[in-house]
Structure 1
Amino acid sequence: MKAENIQRICVAGAGQMGHQIAMLCALGGYETTIQDVNETALTKAESTLETIMNKWVAKNKISNEAKKAAFNRLHFTASLEEAAKDADFVIEAIVEKLEAKQVLFRQLDTIAPNHAILATNSSTIVNSLIAGVTSRPEKVVNMHFFFPPLVMDCVEVVTSEETSEETAQLTMEVCRRINRAAVLLKKEISGFIANRILGALQKEAVYLYENGYADFEDIDIICKKALNYPIGPFELMDLSGIDVGYYVMQQRYAESGDPEDKPAACIEDKVKKGELGRKTGKGWYQYEKEGVRN
């Protein structure tokens, strides 16, 4: 398959990552369908994207004509069959749980055309753990966007030993067309590059907090003032979603069996309370309303 043969993209999952990835694809000229089993999530996704794109128009980041053209290429459906049956490229953006992704990829393998590439936006799960449930492991790849995708100009494209070079290069070409800087990693490791580095920082920050060396607010201040980080580790957890990090740690522990990889008690407590960060109005910090950078 050649890059020009990729015309239709399916994005499975309309959550905080999926809907913005889909808009990038539509802005890049692809006929794009967002699929989610939750109708409410689809409605919210469309409303959120309207708000973001209207702000872009107001700031002259995009013309009103380009915005209308992108929305004309963007479609919403609760049916996976409808979304994937004619797709040339599929991007999965559902919950960060291996079992859920495996279930979805089994379905996609049956529904999507044989030529279609199946990409996972997983932030930590290597694609070889998912590809095995399909009949096309050579066409499965990691395509890890960063939150929020409409702002963050980076994608980690990660191949397994079975991912073909054609799949890797076509995925890189899709990234170029949607105006995102892509980095190709030809060796798998759980968490890839950025999240392994961020994870090490977060792990140490949580250790210092749980052991009473400093309050989380002070740790954030030190990281921003002394290390010149744009955002502290606890603020970043709130922005990304505390549950997302929790599932990542659970998955890494399942793979390694190392107690050091288990989610910290304070993280687990936040998830049990439903205090997941900005998206719920409370995490480490209190928020008056949900906010997404755009």
Structure 2
Amino acid sequence: MDIRTILIIGAGTMGRQIAMSCALGGYTTILQDISGSALDAARTDLESWADGRVAKGKLQAEFADAALARLSQSTELDASAAQADLVIEAAVERLDIKRSIFAELGKNAPAHAILATNSSTLASSHLAEASGRASQVCNMHFFNPALVMKCVEIVRNEQTSDETIQAVTAVARALGKEPVLVNREIPGFIANRMMGAMQREALNLASAEVASITDIDTTARTALGHPMGPFELMDLVGLDVIDFIAQATYAETGQALDQPHPLITQKVTEGKLGRKSGEGFYEYRR
């Protein structure tokens, strides 16, 4: 399938970075959001990012300018969808909103267009029926920050066609990513399941006062070779995000093991969300 135009829905942190990745990859890219101010903020952020990369000699000015020229913005979903060969939805993690979006995409996107969701928690099978084109629906899960992280989890549902998987895999590779295929839907996919297991054990060790948070993180870095410890990583991701992922996974599985950990719940209740709030498991200067 010849994919030339990619529509990204949602101008938040993930959406804007996925959009820039697509533009850098040579694709005509549309970043859509219902908020004009969000689109303006995204443009300013991406231009600043590009300027910084150019200043550091990590991106040629001509290449950056060409990518930004390929990236347009719109508040109109229907008109944007009509131009797309591939749609990557990166809207808020609410199933009702995503279903509504996929229903609109099913009506307005060209018949050949593939519809992917960037969701890390909601499987595409929940959206496939609303789209009216289940064989062309899948998860295409990028990692934050999307302009840096190489992994993209491509998750098929029971009706996803091989052609769809081949097409989105080719796009991921064209963006300089390393796609991994998840052959069947499972809550948390690959990365979140492995990360969740590590985090649960770290939280249990801390709760039982087996070791301090600092020493657990030090062990992960110095013995296991991790770039940062589990508590440092949770603070970076955002404890509210960790809590949300756990809630979504538990809603899918119903297994007690998947419930949000009490230490995370306590921090979120206190408004200590990690780096974004200035304090989580560690304190950060703002």
TM-score, with structure 1 as normaliser = 0.90
Superposed, which structure 2 residues align to 1:158-237 within 5 Å?
158-237=155-234
> Which string of whole-angstrom CA distances, capped at 9 and with x for unpartnered residues, describes residues 113-141 of structure 1?
22211111112322112213220110001
Q: Report what 1:28 is aligned to.
A: 25
Bigger shift: residues 59-68 or 274-283: 274-283
Aligned partners of 1:224 and 1:232 also within 8 Å: yes
Per the alignment, residue 87 of structure 1 pairs with: 84
Aligned residue type for 1:177: A
1:126 equivalent in structure 2 = 123
Give 1:168 shift.
0.5
Alpha carbons of structure 1 residues 49 and 256: separation in structure 2 relative to 1, 3 Å = same
User: Relative to structure 2, which stretch is displaced further, 168-177 or 28-37?
Assistant: 28-37
1:281–1:19 Cα change, 3 Å = farther
Unaligned runs of 5+ in 2: none
- Farther-moved stretch of structure 1 (37-46 vs 225-234): 37-46
Aligned 8 A contact 2:187 2:253 in 1: no
Offset of 1:58 from its aligned partner?
1.8
Question: After TM superposition, where is structure 1 displaced by more than 6 Å over at least 4 residues in a row?
Answer: none
State the SS of the aligned residue for 2:131: coil
Instruction: Write the deviation string for residues 214-248 of structure 1: whole angstroms up to 9, x where unpaired.
Output: 33233212211222210111111122222222221
Read off the aligned partner of 1:210 and give its amino acid letter.
S
The question of 1:98 aligning with 2:95 is answered: yes
- Residue 44 of structure 1: how far off its partner (Å): 2.5
Which shifted more, 240-249 or 173-182?
240-249
Query: Is 1:286 the equivalent of 2:265?
Result: no
1:5-154 aligned at under 5 Å gives the runs 6-154=3-151
How far, CA to CA, are the matches of 1:217 and 1:40 in structure 2? 40
What is the DSSP-based 3-state SS (H/G/I as helix, E as strand, rest coil) of the residue aligned with 1:263?
Answer: coil
Which position in structure 2 is the counterpart of 1:255? 252
- The CA distance in 2 between the partners of 1:35 and 1:165, in whole Å, is 28
* Partner SS state of residue 87, structure 1: coil
Q: Does structure 2 retain, via aligned residues, the 8 Å contact 1:96–1:247?
A: no
Cα distance, 1:282–1:85 mapped onto 2, change above 3 Å: farther
**Further displaced range: 149-158 or 20-29:** 149-158
Distance 1:157 1:281, change over 3 A: same
What letter matches 1:205 in structure 2? A
Instruction: Compare 92-101 and 55-64 and name the one that shifted more.
Output: 92-101
Tell me if the contact between 1:124 and 1:190 (Cα under 8 Å) persists in the aligned partners.
yes
**Structure 1 stretch 30-39 or stretch 67-76: which is displaced more?**
30-39
- Structure 1 residues 279 and 81: alpha-carbon distance in aligned structure 2, compared to 1, 3 A threshold: farther
Q: 1:292 aligns to what?
A: none
**CA offsets per residue over residues 100-119 of structure 1, 9 Å max, x none?**
32232223222322221111
> Separation in 2 of the partners of 1:43 and 1:286?
31
Question: How many residue pairs get matched?
Answer: 286
Change (3 A) 1:279 1:10: farther
Shift in Å at residue 274 of structure 1? 3.8
User: SS at the partner of 2:185?
Assistant: coil
Please, which runs of 5 or more residues in structure 1 have no aligned partner? 290-294
Q: TM-score, normalising length from structure 2? A: 0.93
Aligned to 1:275: 272
What SS does structure 1 have at the residue aligned with 2:93? coil
**Aligned-partner Cα distance in 1 for 2:74–2:170:** 26
**Mean alpha-carbon deviation: is it higher for 257-266 or for 145-154?**
257-266
Alignment identity in percent?
Answer: 48
Could you say if the C-alpha distance between residues 57 and 43 of structure 1 is closer, same or farther in structure 2, counting changes exceeding 3 Å?
Answer: same
**Letter aligned with residue 54 of structure 2:** V
The answer to whether the 8 Å contact 1:123/1:191 transfers is yes
Secondary structure of 2:13's counterpart equals coil
Which secondary structure does the structure 1 equivalent of 2:130 belong to?
A: coil
